[in-house]
Amino acid sequence: MKYARVIGTGSYLPDKILTNHDLERIVDTSDEWIRTRTGIAQRHIAADSEMASDLALNASREAIKAGGIDPREIELVIVATTTPDMIFPSTACILQDKLGIGDCAAFDVQAVCSGFIYALATADMFIRTGKCRTALVVGAEVYSRILDWSDRNTCVLFGDGAGAVLLRGDEQPGILSTHLHADGSQSKILSAPANICGGKVQGKPFVVMEGNTVFKFAVKVLEEVVHEALAENNLESSDIDWLIPHQANIRIIASTAKKLGISMDKVVATVDKHGNTSAASIPLAIDIAVRDGRIKSGQHVLLEGVGGGFTWGAALIRW
């Protein structure tokens, strides 16, 4: 069992849509300002009753259905999230129970917007080493809960959603390689600097960000990690059929693609309709591109993301 192959994908977006025009009535901003700087037109917002595990459950069911398996075949559940249901137990354990799949390993991964890449790499290692045959990897976020809705620099960027992929061990190539990095010295550039002590929140429990610094850092490291993935697999940028980046900002996406010499025609971009859904953004984009027929068997698909920590990474897949 040499490779982990994607056998099913799924996604879920909450019903409520918050447009840029809606935000004009909430904060000092405009549709033109948001579109010009981010490429975002709208984002989805979870209902008060929806938790990260609920979003994950809907996406997981779609992936399991697409994979055509009995949920009880799943031996590993990993959820990438920055917005868990609670401090503990993990959202993965809660999801496992909601799926009714019983005794299997389940845990969360917290690498912010790179979380799905980190989770995918972890599941890939479990399958490559023979520790499990079938794994469910989910990215699920309810970022609307950690936004300061009076801060126009951050509240316009994020949305809620979930995406999932189902992996199974196979002798045929699937995930070719994964590449993970982190630099904790940059932790203050993008964070939600709060903690709980004695039942009280200490610090600011909202997303804070140095936008220009994040932009420059992201473009630099994303180019580097993509070249790392290509070099390990003896491929060129021209060999990539689809680039699926973390959907943070259309300018970051376009700048990265330009530096890599990859046409935007080969980039899957969903940021206009979803906003930045952090760890959910890549699996959401994957599912959309699979279901609309863009991603086909035998193609090379390159995933890349960067998030608070700072963390960043890439995964190269032969579909």
pLDDT digits (tens, 9 = 90+) for 69-126: 999 999 999 999 999 999 999 999 999 999 999 899 999 999 999 999 999 999 999 9
Q: For the packed helices 281-291 and 115-128, what is the interaxial angle rounded to 10 degrees?
A: 70
Catalytic residue among 20, 58, 249, 276: 276
Which pLDDT belongs to residue 26? 95
Residues 134 and 55 in one domain: yes
Number of structural domains in the chain: 2
Residues 22 and 135 in one domain: yes
- The Cα diameter of the chain in Å comes to 55
Residues 20 and 160 in one domain: yes
Told to judge if 113 belongs to the known catalytic residues of this protein, a careful annotator would answer yes
Which pLDDT belongs to residue 317? 98
What average pLDDT does the segment 10-26 reach?
98
Q: How confident is the model at residue 285 (pLDDT cuts 50, 70, 90)?
A: very high
Residues 103 and 218 in one domain: no
Residues 113 and 209 in one domain: no
Is residue 112 classed as helix, strand or coil in its secondary structure? Answer: helix
pLDDT digits (tens, 9 = 90+) for 224-252: 999 999 999 999 999 999 999 999 999 99
Q: What is the spatial distance between Cα 136 and Cα 67, in angstroms, rounded to a whole number? A: 11
**Burial bucket for residue 197 (CB in 10 Å: 0-12, 13-18, 19+):** exposed
Residues 299 and 225 in one domain: yes
What average pLDDT does the segment 301-306 reach?
98
pLDDT digits (tens, 9 = 90+) for 158-185: 999 999 999 999 999 999 999 999 999 9
Q: Is the pLDDT of residue 209 over 90?
A: yes
Q: Is the pLDDT of residue 1 over 80?
A: no
Q: Of 136, 171, 206, at which residue does a domain stop?
A: 171
Residues 198 and 264 in one domain: yes
Q: Of 155, 171, 187, at which residue does a domain stop?
A: 171
Domain of 253 in residue numbering reads as 176-318
Residues 130 and 83 in one domain: yes
Q: Is the pLDDT of residue 2 over 90?
A: no
pTM of the model: 0.97
Q: What is the mean pLDDT of the chain?
A: 97
Q: Is the pLDDT of residue 29 over 90?
A: yes
Catalytic residue among 20, 44, 93, 113: 113
What average pLDDT does the segment 29-39 reach?
97
Catalytic residue among 44, 246, 249, 274: 246
**In this structure, what CATH number is given to the domain that contains residue 142?**
3.40.47.10
Q: Is the pLDDT of residue 6 over 90?
A: yes
Percent of the chain with pLDDT over 90: 99
Residues 48 and 90 in one domain: yes
Q: Is the pLDDT of residue 284 over 80?
A: yes
Residues 23 and 50 in one domain: yes
- The helices-and-strands tally (H runs, E runs) of the chain is 9, 15
Told to judge if 104 belongs to the known catalytic residues of this protein, a careful annotator would answer no
Which pLDDT belongs to residue 239? 98
Residues 117 and 167 in one domain: yes
Told to judge if 132 belongs to the known catalytic residues of this protein, a careful annotator would answer no
Query: Residue 310, preceding bond cis, omega within 30 degrees?
Result: yes
Q: Of 119, 141, 171, at which residue does a domain stop?
A: 171
Phi first, then psi: give them for residue 143, nearest 5 degrees: -65, -20
Residues 165 and 33 in one domain: yes
